[in-house]
A = this chain, B = another copy of it.
């Protein structure tokens, strides 16, 4: 990973991997660019057209994502004279994020789902399980444990005098 990992305490607000993750992919175009690469579109022009992003913004974001180790440039097998954008392992690992966003958008953001995910040959109905116990991850069974001193769910609490 070219980009060093972020120290979560260096960001403003609560130290949290969500904030750190958003530091990398949390802007207007990054996730859409990653979606396109995941769909098999590896070239600048394709990504620009299919996301609708301005070319200069896209150029900057792709640079950032390469820097962050989410994308890498690599000559395409079929056409070795072009260096396309490809997913690294970190990039491929964003698939669940895009899937949950897609599922949420399908349910809450759009008039009618413009795309469907198929698992084998039936529509995917995704749910999260906990692989250590195999059970469905019911929000009611989840708790958080903050590992940074003086931080709780409620916020930052400096040591009482």
Which positions in A face B, CB cutoff 8 Å? Answer: 1, 5-9, 11-24, 26-28, 31-32, 35-36, 39-41, 46, 49-53, 69-70, 90, 92-111, 113-120, 122-133, 135, 137, 139, 141-148, 151, 153-156
6 example contacts (A-B, Cβ-Cβ < 8 A) are as follows A6-B111, A15-B115, A40-B154, A49-B156, A92-B139, A99-B100
Which of B46, B96, B124, B148 touches A100 (beta carbons < 8 Å)? B96
User: Whole-angstrom distance between the alpha carbons of A100 and B123 in the complex?
Assistant: 21
- The smallest beta-carbon distance between A5 and chain B, in angstroms, is 5
Verify A17–B142 contact, CB threshold 8 A: no
A11-B52, A131-B126 known; A154-B111 Cβ under 8 A: no
